[in-house]
Structure 1
């Protein structure tokens, strides 16, 4: 008998190799992902005082068992011969980066974080890549995938497979409930006091958040945005007064706690501290990420209504433009999140205009520009606006790169780094915490310089306009407190550092006079609790726009506006 002829005999003796059941593969995946793909969760729980001692260790083990049972139940639905391998591969490739980002920066995954990821541009993505991510992909995803792809999968009639899969789901859920019942009190306390833990279970967190985001998108009305402020118009301007020029600088990731103007013990505001600015110390943001805060800041609704509002509405910039003002948005980041879609807008650098380069040193070889690039050639930008609108007034918005992390060191020119040594890595957890703070504080000091330069430019416009400057950051940042870095935590769970933002105003004497603002009153309000809710209404009042949308109680400066004298000079027609 030939070797070829002996194979069937060998197979008959050894028994047919029918391969592994799809359910076995899904349960191996649930065990692997539950234990290794969720290592940040187990590390977080092991470091919490609530889980000290033997009782805590037992609870962590029970919690891990429940996670594995939940994953097993979900994965059992995927246990079909054709689909099981590619679907497990997707779950592994999803879990590996989740483990890296949760473990490295302490972030949690919700619909807002998914939105941030979808809106991240190439520059931001590049900053987040590193060898740590590669290691996680290799260990958590690629190694088990090599094993998985070598496995033969047993075929079964579809109705039998469905029955086995449903039985697996039922048994997994029953086992999970049984485990939870052994630690009922501890489980209830944990879920009540540490809700963040449930958002760290991968990949359930990402799947749930993506589903929630999809549902949210379906609730958003299609078509053009709803018109708001249809009655917006310019108030008559008193004789002898100039049109307003409002420069709104939207900061990025700046936290109030690191502003020397607000009591920080490091000189992060050396230039602004020499200028007559107002720095408000108790300001709360709309959200903890740009994707959440930016649209909210430019909405008239206020945070409490906006977060649950499904509507697609016009923004503050639409209302200003409808009133007849010239509006311009300058961006040095990943876009305006829809806020500026219907008004003139431009990037700090325009690759389509090689004949109009920025001065040397303002942009790096990677295409990222420092925030000073937005100040370049501003006179020409203003001159390029509709002259009839500009004659009525201008609102200019600058969206900073600011203190965007984790690569803080990239946001400041080499000659503007007063705090050294600084962390030169995006893997913040691998740097000494004082070097992380140095790198971050350098970005605040650079923002101080940019704002000072902006005020100097505004000062040169006083012959033509009544200028004013508003600076407010979109959200704050965690710098290692409680092992958290960056931002984006759910608002209810986020530490104050991610929600407490700086607000700086510059209102020169001529502008205060035309706005009838009492300087002493403004200074008395520096410690008043404020929020992003007031931005919309403050810009309306400083730009002279009247509409039924305006809320005086939300306007940051309205309480210090004096009544107009009855014998005022006749108004100048617009």
Structure 2
């Protein structure tokens, strides 16, 4: 009879105990909230049921080990409720878009604005939150208060639980070691799919990095920044830098894509417009790419944890006028020390936005050109006499709601996916919606060039367009972007870059004939942006590297 009662107690545990709650939550999250992980494992060749069961046991044991250390009466319920909701959200996003959750994704998430967040909401997300998160969390929160227990005894129980979990995890790993080592070596993204441990690790890593980071103002770059002397009568430079969003090079018809996604740019003379076809990004998300592409060090040496000035600071220190216009979630700190504004914030005395250009809080990228002359007139006149660098930060092709990024009169590819749950649409509709956003970017660039041509009486004009990162459109089950760089597919790192120089301009005249055409198929990257921009406008500083200036080799 005592043995029967013990067995009965095992199957009917005291759910008021913090350790019991921790392990019940570990089972729920390890087995159910990780359904995208099990789906991915099942699709891999050579992975059998025995390995999947062992791996599920390892994930559950690892989760239980972590939760055992937090199994204290006044802590555990709140922690579990939070992790259950986080796990439910992660299960949806990982399962829906094929993303992984690493420290870069945490940084990107923190810097996401309300518009971008709204595009991710759906009924399926709500269902996942309710079924995988709120349901078990509500049950746990209704459990009775744990009986009083001596501190030493509770600590000993928690440590014993942690130790047993670690032992179980090690034994399970050893039992399938050959398959485990091969799978984890070849499928490195799996480690970022283990929910909610991926969130615990990634959030902790970002928090530690933030707390350990240096305080105070950013390190000065280019303290000796200056402008090269101009010939008498020469016009000051006007460089338009268009920072694209989520555009991938392989979908630009200028780069050989079969669809006409660049109909307006294709009409321009090939002697003034140059599309570079082999350009690689700094990162796979805006939060990673933007600071890196405006830094002089290049991706391999750039350290996001060491705040420093950027290209805009150096150009302003050299004496140029600098203006950042944003139609997205902000400049990630790049424009904090230079004049900057959002498209929806019109200058004083400006005409209202034309009908149809904005809807609620979101505007189409063409709004970047609205009342642009008034914005420039408001800048320092003496700086303008030396030259102007204007940065336009697009909303571009930001997903998953691609259909929102193109106006009704600019949707040549139909039918397009009208949902933010891309996996629910046929892939050709997803591509249609995405390609429509590129046609919208094409029109923005063409009209920007027309505006630059109108400034030619006062400035020596030019444009450099480059996207911050690419995008996955369902290839290998992946959508959107943000994969760890080492694991990211080419779709997320191969970006378009376009140079436009008017044939009669001073810069074009200073270059060797036909030289720029030779750049079209040469490898380039975001590393070139800082130095090319400085060379373009005739700015110099100790951080300028001519070998990274795309135009340097073409100068006479």
Q: Which interval holds the TM-score relative to the shorter structure?
A: over 0.9
**C-alpha distance in structure 2 between counterparts of 1:435 and 1:43, whole Å:** 24
**C-alpha distance in structure 2 between counterparts of 1:476 and 1:282, whole Å:** 13
User: Max radius of gyration: which structure?
Assistant: 1
Q: Deviations over 1:302-336 (max 9, x none)?
A: 10011x45321111000000011000000000000
Other-structure match for 2:122: 130
Please tell me whether residue 157 in structure 1 is matched to residue 150 in structure 2.
yes
Other-structure match for 2:293: 297
Other-structure match for 1:570: none
Other-structure match for 1:284: 280
Other-structure match for 1:183: 176
How many aligned residue pairs are there? Answer: 540
Contact 1:18–1:153 under 8 Å retained in 2: no
**C-alpha distance in structure 2 between counterparts of 1:441 and 1:152, whole Å:** 56
Contact 1:282–1:530 under 8 Å retained in 2: yes
**C-alpha distance in structure 2 between counterparts of 1:468 and 1:104, whole Å:** 41
Please tell me whether residue 195 in structure 1 is matched to residue 188 in structure 2.
yes
**C-alpha distance in structure 2 between counterparts of 1:310 and 1:379, whole Å:** 37
Could you say what the CA RMSD is over the residues aligned between the two structures, in angstroms? 1.5
Contact 2:277–2:497 under 8 Å retained in 1: yes
Other-structure match for 2:31: 35
Deviation for aligned residue 1:79:
1.5
Deviation for aligned residue 1:511:
2.6
Structure 1 runs of 4+ aligned residues shifted over 6 Å read 351-355
Other-structure match for 2:322: 327
Name the stretch that deviates more: 479-488 or 539-548: 539-548
Deviation for aligned residue 1:49:
2.3
**C-alpha distance in structure 2 between counterparts of 1:93 and 1:354, whole Å:** 48
**C-alpha distance in structure 1 between counterparts of 2:19 and 2:160, whole Å:** 11
Deviation for aligned residue 1:361:
1.1
Please tell me whether residue 429 in structure 1 is matched to residue 388 in structure 2.
no
Per the alignment, do residues 384 and 533 of structure 1 end up closer, same or farther by CA in structure 2, a change over 3 Å counting? same
**C-alpha distance in structure 2 between counterparts of 1:24 and 1:90, whole Å:** 17
Per the alignment, do residues 96 and 532 of structure 1 end up closer, same or farther by CA in structure 2, a change over 3 Å counting? same
**C-alpha distance in structure 2 between counterparts of 1:356 and 1:126, whole Å:** 29
Per the alignment, do residues 161 and 351 of structure 1 end up closer, same or farther by CA in structure 2, a change over 3 Å counting? farther
**C-alpha distance in structure 2 between counterparts of 1:426 and 1:181, whole Å:** 42
Other-structure match for 1:21: 17
Per the alignment, do residues 150 and 347 of structure 1 end up closer, same or farther by CA in structure 2, a change over 3 Å counting? same
Q: Deviations over 1:94-113 (max 9, x none)?
A: 11111111111111111110
1:473 corresponds, among 449, 467, 477, to: 467
Contact 1:412–1:443 under 8 Å retained in 2: yes
Please tell me whether residue 76 in structure 1 is matched to residue 68 in structure 2.
yes
SS of the residue corresponding to residue 426 of structure 1 reads coil
Deviation for aligned residue 1:514:
6.0
Name the stretch that deviates more: 38-47 or 506-515: 506-515
**C-alpha distance in structure 2 between counterparts of 1:514 and 1:421, whole Å:** 42
Deviation for aligned residue 1:140:
0.4
Q: Deviations over 1:244-282 (max 9, x none)?
A: 000000000000010000010101000101113100000
Superposed, 1:118-517 pairs within 5 Å as: 118-155=110-147, 156-276=149-269, 277-306=273-302, 308=303, 310-350=305-345, 356-364=351-359, 366-511=360-505, 513=507, 516-517=510-511
Contact 1:19–1:153 under 8 Å retained in 2: no
Per the alignment, do residues 118 and 515 of structure 1 end up closer, same or farther by CA in structure 2, a change over 3 Å counting? farther
**C-alpha distance in structure 2 between counterparts of 1:151 and 1:393, whole Å:** 68
After TM superposition, the score normalised by the length of structure 2 is 0.95
Contact 1:241–1:514 under 8 Å retained in 2: no
**C-alpha distance in structure 1 between counterparts of 2:412 and 2:263, whole Å:** 11
Q: Deviations over 1:511-549 (max 9, x none)?
A: 355661124111012000000000000000111101121
Other-structure match for 1:527: 521
Q: Deviations over 1:149-199 (max 9, x none)?
A: 232243222211111111111111101100111111111111211111010
Per the alignment, do residues 503 and 334 of structure 1 end up closer, same or farther by CA in structure 2, a change over 3 Å counting? same
Other-structure match for 1:107: 99
Deviation for aligned residue 1:351:
7.1
**C-alpha distance in structure 1 between counterparts of 2:196 and 2:231, whole Å:** 61
Per the alignment, do residues 18 and 45 of structure 1 end up closer, same or farther by CA in structure 2, a change over 3 Å counting? closer
**C-alpha distance in structure 2 between counterparts of 1:62 and 1:473, whole Å:** 43
Contact 2:502–2:508 under 8 Å retained in 1: no
SS of the residue corresponding to residue 471 of structure 1 reads strand
**C-alpha distance in structure 2 between counterparts of 1:102 and 1:351, whole Å:** 39
**C-alpha distance in structure 1 between counterparts of 2:507 and 2:475, whole Å:** 44
Deviation for aligned residue 1:19:
5.8
Per the alignment, do residues 383 and 355 of structure 1 end up closer, same or farther by CA in structure 2, a change over 3 Å counting? closer
Deviation for aligned residue 1:434:
0.4
**C-alpha distance in structure 1 between counterparts of 2:458 and 2:18, whole Å:** 75
**C-alpha distance in structure 2 between counterparts of 1:473 and 1:325, whole Å:** 24
Per the alignment, do residues 376 and 519 of structure 1 end up closer, same or farther by CA in structure 2, a change over 3 Å counting? farther
Name the stretch that deviates more: 345-354 or 177-186: 345-354
**C-alpha distance in structure 2 between counterparts of 1:549 and 1:522, whole Å:** 24
Deviation for aligned residue 1:378:
1.4
Deviation for aligned residue 1:123:
0.4
**C-alpha distance in structure 2 between counterparts of 1:503 and 1:47, whole Å:** 36
Name the stretch that deviates more: 370-379 or 42-51: 42-51
**C-alpha distance in structure 1 between counterparts of 2:193 and 2:296, whole Å:** 34
SS of the residue corresponding to residue 249 of structure 1 reads strand
After TM superposition, the score normalised by the length of structure 1 is 0.92
Q: Deviations over 1:329-387 (max 9, x none)?
A: 000000000010000001011179697421111101x2100000001111222211111
**C-alpha distance in structure 2 between counterparts of 1:226 and 1:22, whole Å:** 48
